[in-house]
Amino acid sequence: MSGTILATGTSPDGIMVTSRQKTDVAVLEITIATGGSTGWHYHDGEVIAVVKSGTLTRTLHDCSTEVTFVGGSFVEPAGRPHVHIGRNLGSEPVVLLATYVLPAGQPRSQDAPPPQCAR
């Protein structure tokens, strides 16, 4: 998996619904090779993404799966309870355009173990 930062910024007054603290916003183009994955992780803020090419299969914290095709979008909620993994099970690279809205200074993602149902 690789990512290219397209734009970043910080809102001094906060734009997150749950907080008035500073908020970092980043827009990335992320590529997941055929057979690749993001690894199990979560985000400290919301991520809003659009699939630019390929097909992304996400396994969520409850082991349900969601498949998103070209032109489809999804929102990943914030917090450790929303651990998930994205996989490219298709025959071409998956390219995502993702906007991260995070508390200032937080990493874009946090590695996490898979949920009990995925072990």
Residue 9 lies in a domain: yes
The per-residue pLDDT for 86 is 98
Burial label for 5, CB within 10 Å (0-12, 13-18, 19+), is exposed
Q: What is the pLDDT of residues 19-62, one digit of tens each?
A: 567 889 999 999 999 999 999 999 999 999 999 999 999 999 99
Buried b (16+ CB within 10 A) or exposed e, 10-22: eeeeeebeeeeeb
Give the pLDDT mean for 70-74.
98
Q: Is there a domain that residue 14 lies in? A: yes
Cα diameter, the chain: 43
CATH of the domain at 99: 2.60.120.10
The verdict on residue 69 lying in a domain is: yes
Inside any domain, residue 116: no
Identify the pLDDT of residue 16.
56
Query: Rounded to whole angstroms, how far apart are CA atoms 60 and 5?
Result: 25
Q: Does residue 13 have a pLDDT over 90?
A: no
> Containing domain of residue 36, as a range?
2-109
Does the residue 118 lie in any domain? no
| Number of domains present in the structure of the chain | 1
- Report whether 12 contacts 20 (CB < 8 A): no
Q: Is residue 119 part of a domain?
A: no
